[in-house]
Amino acid sequence: MQFVIDNIFPITIALLSGFMLFWTTFGNRIRGIKEVDCQGAMQLINHKQAIVLDVREDSEYKSGHVLNAKHIPLGKLGQRLGELEKYRDQPVVVICRSGNRSCTASAQLGKQGFSQVYNLNGGVMAWQKANLPLEK
């Protein structure tokens, strides 16, 4: 017990670090967010007619986006949710630059009843790294 008292600060740091590592690895699964890599996204797009929802800002979208992607910036998603209503029962692949904003958007869509929402792991950066085309 004396050891714990004497080393409370390093023990706390170790526990917090462990929790952060755990959350990074399993947090999206716990929140019910499905993730997909570029190959999986391509399969959803080509074989299941998934829509691609790009939640980046206007300038980012204009610099290059996935072919036929629907563009709704994350900050406007709540206001423009009606535009996605017809895709409610269809797979939706959500994309941003790195996968963080799209994760937030995926959670938001899931709360609104969209059942087939997939966050593109790594975002546009992963898409480019996989040498997949972007439209300008």
Confidence of residue 62 (pLDDT cuts 50, 70, 90): very high
Considering the chain, what is the average pLDDT of its residues? Answer: 91
Strands (E), the chain: 34-36, 51-54, 70-71, 92-95, 117-120
Q: Which of these, 121, 101, 119, lies nearest to 110 by C-alpha position?
A: 119
Whether this model's pTM surpasses 0.75: yes
Fold category of 33-129 in CATH: Oxidized Rhodanese; domain 1 (3.40.250)
Distance of CA 30 to the CA centre of its chain: 14
Q: Report whether 117 contacts 33 (CB < 8 A).
A: yes
Respond yes or no: is residue 103 known to be catalytic.
Answer: no
Question: Catalytic pick from 33, 96, 105, 120?
Answer: 96
Longest dimension (CA), the chain: 63
User: Given the DSSP bridges, would you call strands 92-95 and 34-36 parallel, antiparallel or unpaired?
Assistant: unpaired
- DSSP codes joined into one string, 24-46: HHHHHHHTT-EEE-HHHHHHHHH
Confidence of residue 41 (pLDDT cuts 50, 70, 90): very high
* Residue 87, pLDDT score: 92
Half-sphere exposure of 40 (CA within 13 A, CB side): 16
With the C-alpha atoms ordered 84, 90, 100, 105, is the resulting torsion angle positive or negative? Answer: positive
